[in-house]
A = this chain, B = another copy of it.
Amino acid sequence: MLYIKLDRSRKISLTQQLYTGIIEKILNGALSAGEKLPSSRNLSRSLGVSRNVVLEAYDQLTAEGFIESAHGSGTYVADGTRMNGYRIGQVPQKKPLTGLLYEPDDTVIDFRTGVPDLSLFPVKKWGGLYRSVCESLDPITLDYYQALGCYELRYALARSLNKTRGVVCDADHILITTGAAQAFALTARVLTPKEHVIVEDPINNDILKIIKASGADVHPVIVDDQGIRADLLPDLNTVKYIFTTPSHHFPTGGILSAQRRIALIQYAESHGGYVVEDDYDSEYRFTGAPIHSLQSLNPDRVIYVGTFSKKLFPALRIGYMVLPPSLMEAFLNAKHLEDLHSPVLEQLTLARFIQDGLLDRYIAKSRRVYQEKRRCLVDALTRYFGGRVIVKGSATGIHLVAQFPGVLFDKEKFDRLLAGGVRLYPIDDHTITKGLFDDTLMIGYGNINNEQIEEGIRRIHAVIT
């Protein structure tokens, strides 16, 4: 309904105020050409004035050509009535921005990490599934939920995580979050004000910021090809948690060895703390035996965090955490105080997507696609650089790291790469100890195709040789 400010205490008549108010909105574009005005009956009711006031204002506006009546179908704003630069009560006009974190740029090949192949996702099928959920919905489903999130998704997830990752849990130990980011934010708020926290170095910089924002005392421990160096865990009396990416270290790509897994769990036990297991892309493993989840070693000491941002798509914002029973209450309280619970209709859609076997099928398909992209990337690196490049990390995920001994990747080099048409991101964005990876590139291949991979490596080669 149209809102016009009317003030009965002013000397100006209500008709005149209404007339001026509508003109203002037409001039500044709040009401645009062709837009339908409310009927005089509805507007008079909603503004609390007599119908005559509205009719008189409409007559005057019609006479002056601001609005037009079409017999039997109502009153519309006339064309050509917008005045550019008119500022009183102005509203913004549409800008061509999307709100995306990274605006698309066709001239550059972007080796960004952490984004899956967006054109692969069957979004039309997903839309159809969402509609079908809506078609058969009990209205009670639209009400408020407990902080956990909706049961259908937690149940489907519990079964799927047990079957595919060996995670030990039932539906009531799963908390649905707005992406994995929120799982880390909740963990930081619940567990860490002014406590000791151990993190891998390097570590995703957003996650590090989240942990630091809680006021935690952060202790970095460096990683090697087998993940975090468990032999370097600091000598402290108590540690609240250890943050780790055991299935595929971000960004260096190592898989945490069994011995170190056991060492982390034992360290957490003896220091009265927990291990936070960030299992962000373990589905995309191309060779070898499956990797056990750390959680399966001790469900009472591990907070297991997963996300659909890499499995499906980031804009979905559905993540989940599997919590030790002793922590449930504190986490549910924190989630309730943050946003009550996450949106439900997409949770129900995702539950159906899992139950109908579409998730397993989509992951199997994605795995083949990423395996091929990785093969193509390694192949191009080898062809262009031969023995001057060392591909590091395990054959898993949607990015790899490549070392170029003797090459220095500093700010100037990244600028030159960008000028050469290829965008790369310094590992030092994600390191606490700086300078250990000056000769190494993170290369994400999730959302670019094989031709772009080939051309991108050619462009890198053109710049650094």
Whether B148 and A337, one on each chain, are in contact in the complex, defined by CB atoms closer than 8 angstroms, is no
What is the CB-to-nearest-CB distance from A434 to chain B, in angstroms, rounded to a whole number?
A: 22
Complex formed: what's the CA distance from A316 to B145 in Å? 11
The one of B127, B145, B178, B346 that contacts A178, using a Cβ cutoff of 8 Å? B178
Q: Mark A188-212, 1 if CB is under 8 A from B, else 0.
A: 0000000000000000001001100
Whether A315 and B338, one on each chain, are in contact in the complex, defined by CB atoms closer than 8 angstroms, is no
Of all chain B residues, which has the CB nearest A168?
B89
Complex formed: what's the CA distance from A31 to B325 in Å? 24
Whether B315 and A339, one on each chain, are in contact in the complex, defined by CB atoms closer than 8 angstroms, is no
The answer, yes or no, to whether A48 is at the interface (CB within 8 Å) is: yes
Chain B residues near A236 (CB-CB < 8 A): none
The answer, yes or no, to whether A86 is at the interface (CB within 8 Å) is: no
Of all chain B residues, which has the CB nearest A287?
B48
Of all chain B residues, which has the CB nearest A176?
B99
Whether A315 and B345, one on each chain, are in contact in the complex, defined by CB atoms closer than 8 angstroms, is yes
Whether B342 and A178, one on each chain, are in contact in the complex, defined by CB atoms closer than 8 angstroms, is yes
The answer, yes or no, to whether A270 is at the interface (CB within 8 Å) is: no
Chain B residues near A1 (CB-CB < 8 A): 164, 290, 360, 363-364
Complex formed: what's the CA distance from A290 to B43 in Å? 11
Residues 382-420 (chain A) with a chain B CB within 8 angstroms:
none
Q: Mark A113-124, 1 if CB is under 8 A from B, else 0.
A: 001001101011
Q: Report the interface size class on chain A.
A: 35 or more
The answer, yes or no, to whether A232 is at the interface (CB within 8 Å) is: no
Whether A91 and B170, one on each chain, are in contact in the complex, defined by CB atoms closer than 8 angstroms, is yes
Of all chain B residues, which has the CB nearest A213?
B337
What is the CB-to-nearest-CB distance from A338 to chain B, in angstroms, rounded to a whole number?
A: 5
Binds B, one of A2-10, A59-67, A75-83, A246-254: A2-10
Chain B residues near A179 (CB-CB < 8 A): 339-340
Whether B185 and A338, one on each chain, are in contact in the complex, defined by CB atoms closer than 8 angstroms, is yes
Chain B residues near A430 (CB-CB < 8 A): none
The answer, yes or no, to whether A92 is at the interface (CB within 8 Å) is: yes
Whether B5 and A292, one on each chain, are in contact in the complex, defined by CB atoms closer than 8 angstroms, is yes
Complex formed: what's the CA distance from A98 to B181 in Å? 25
**Given contacts A99-B154, A155-B94, A142 and B121 within 8 Å (CB-CB):** yes
Whether A100 and B146, one on each chain, are in contact in the complex, defined by CB atoms closer than 8 angstroms, is yes
The answer, yes or no, to whether A140 is at the interface (CB within 8 Å) is: yes
Of all chain B residues, which has the CB nearest A346?
B343
Complex formed: what's the CA distance from A1 to B2 in Å? 55
The answer, yes or no, to whether A141 is at the interface (CB within 8 Å) is: yes
Complex formed: what's the CA distance from A176 to B341 in Å? 15
Residues 131-168 (chain A) with a chain B CB within 8 angstroms:
131-135, 137, 139-146, 148-151, 154-155, 158-159, 162-166, 168
What is the CB-to-nearest-CB distance from A234 to chain B, in angstroms, rounded to a whole number?
A: 25
Chain B residues near A432 (CB-CB < 8 A): none
What is the CB-to-nearest-CB distance from A194 to chain B, in angstroms, rounded to a whole number?
A: 13
Whether B135 and A127, one on each chain, are in contact in the complex, defined by CB atoms closer than 8 angstroms, is yes
The answer, yes or no, to whether A463 is at the interface (CB within 8 Å) is: no
The one of B128, B158, B163 that contacts A3, using a Cβ cutoff of 8 Å? B163
Chain B residues near A172 (CB-CB < 8 A): 92
Which chain A residues have a beta carbon within 8 Å of chain B's beta carbons? 1-3, 5-6, 25, 30-31, 36, 42, 46-49, 89, 91-92, 94-95, 97-102, 104, 115, 118-119, 121, 123-124, 126-128, 130-135, 137, 139-146, 148-151, 154-155, 158-159, 162-166, 168, 170-172, 177-179, 181-182, 185, 206, 209-210, 213, 287-290, 292, 296, 309, 313-318, 336-346, 357, 360, 363-364, 447
Not counting A99-B150, A102-B143, A181-B340, a sample of 20 additional A-B residue pairs whose C-beta atoms are within 8 angstroms of each other reads A1-B164, A3-B162, A3-B165, A5-B296, A89-B162, A92-B155, A99-B145, A99-B146, A99-B148, A101-B143, A123-B137, A123-B139, A127-B135, A131-B131, A142-B315, A145-B315, A179-B339, A213-B337, A317-B342, A317-B343
For this complex, 12 residue pairs linking A to B, each with C-beta atoms less than 8 Å apart, are A3-B165, A48-B288, A99-B150, A101-B144, A121-B139, A126-B134, A128-B131, A131-B131, A143-B314, A179-B339, A317-B341, A346-B346
